[in-house]
Amino acid sequence: MKASYLAAKERWARKMAGTARPTVRSTDRLPPGQRLVDNFPVLDLGMQPEVTRDQWRLRLHGQVENPVTLDWNTFMALPTFRDTSDFHCVTTWSQFDMTWEGVAFLTLAELVRPRPSASHVFFRASDGYTTNARLDDLMDDDVLVAHSWNGQPLSREHGAPARVVVPKLYAWKGAKWVREMIFLDRDILGFWELRGYSNTADPWTDDRFMKEEPARVPSSGPGQKV
Ligand SMILES: Nc1nc2c(c(=O)[nH]1)N[C@H]1C(S)=C(S)[C@@H](COP(=O)(O)O)O[C@H]1N2
Ligand SMILES: [Mo]
């Protein structure tokens, strides 16, 4: 097991025990090119699917030992994780101290047990949106599938009933209305990653756009086929 993973897991365990301080990623809390806002803008593809808790399913599969499909009750029966983190959108707004509640990615990973071959995760959402991330970036103490924001259940426009939050990456890496996570042994680009946004999406290095040649956009449907 990687040392970085063990360190993340230890930080997370301290959060679960209620003895941790919020993660500090930089002395300058506002990443380059960002401005602080105190509202919570809505960004989507022009539609906000209505997904009830009864309809909602989260399917985790691919390069894992134990693929699962969680319904709302099974999801809510997993250990609750509450965490406060900063949120950075590539369109240059950031908001500090967002408190999310849900299930830690580390808990979901423990449940499905990624195979050694798993290196990336591809996310699908109910509005057709897709995004992708490296498993190493997800196996961290502040990544979760959230059902609540600042003490209230997520509203429809912010991804109800549940969304992914990956605070250390630009916010497009967190799928609202998430319904599927596919563990892969390779990287497959998601919606914005195919449309010229950076695949690594690191706010601290102003890593907004693809530096190489823009990826080819497929003519039909968002994202690539998996
Ligand atoms: N399903 C889905 N998830 C999504 C998006 C989307 O269009 N569809 N937009 C992304 C982008 S670009 C951002 S900045 C954040 C915005 O979350 P918010 O609308 O709650 O602020 O959601 C991300 N997750
Ligand atoms: Mo965004």
How confident is the model at residue 4, as a pLDDT?
Answer: 85
- 3-class SS letters over 95-117: EEEEEEEEEEHHHHHHHHCECCC
Instruction: CATH number of the domain at 104, please.
Output: 3.90.420.10
How confident is the model at residue 2, as a pLDDT?
Answer: 74
Ligand 2 ion local residues (Cβ < 5 A): 43, 89-90, 172
The token pair that represents 122 in the structure block: 């591809």
Q: Which residue owns the Cα nearest ligand 1 atom 16?
A: 43
In a domain, 171, yes or no: yes
Q: Are 145 and 103 in contact (CB under 8 A)?
A: yes
How confident is the model at residue 220, as a pLDDT?
Answer: 52
- Ligand 1 centroid to 165 CA: how many Å? 10
In a domain, 47, yes or no: no
In a domain, 222, yes or no: no
Show the ligand 1 pocket: residues with CB < 6 angstroms: 40-45, 89, 125, 127, 129, 158, 171-172, 174-177
The alpha helices in 41-146, defined as continuous H runs, are 72-77, 105-112, 135-138
How confident is the model at residue 213, as a pLDDT?
Answer: 60
Q: How far is CA 120 from CA 46, 129, 187, in A?
A: 27, 17, 6
In a domain, 224, yes or no: no
Looking at the structure of the chain, the number of domains it has is: 1
In a domain, 31, yes or no: no
Tens-of-pLDDT digits for all 226 residues of the chain?
Answer: 678 889 999 999 999 988 776 666 667 899 999 999 999 999 999 999 999 999 999 999 999 999 999 999 999 999 999 999 999 999 999 999 999 999 999 999 999 999 999 999 999 999 999 999 999 999 999 999 999 999 999 999 999 999 999 999 999 999 999 999 999 999 999 999 999 999 999 999 999 998 866 556 655 555 555 5
- Ligand 2 centroid to 170 CA: how many Å? 7
In a domain, 10, yes or no: yes
Q: Which residue owns the Cα nearest ligand 1 atom 6?
A: 44
Q: Does pTM surpass 0.85?
A: yes
Q: Are 96 and 86 in contact (CB under 8 A)?
A: yes
How confident is the model at residue 215, as a pLDDT?
Answer: 55
How confident is the model at residue 211, as a pLDDT?
Answer: 81
Instruction: Show the domain range for 114.
Output: 3-18+55-205
How confident is the model at residue 194, as a pLDDT?
Answer: 97
In a domain, 109, yes or no: yes
d(CA 98, CA 202): 19
Residue 132 CB coordination number (10 Å): 24
In a domain, 157, yes or no: yes
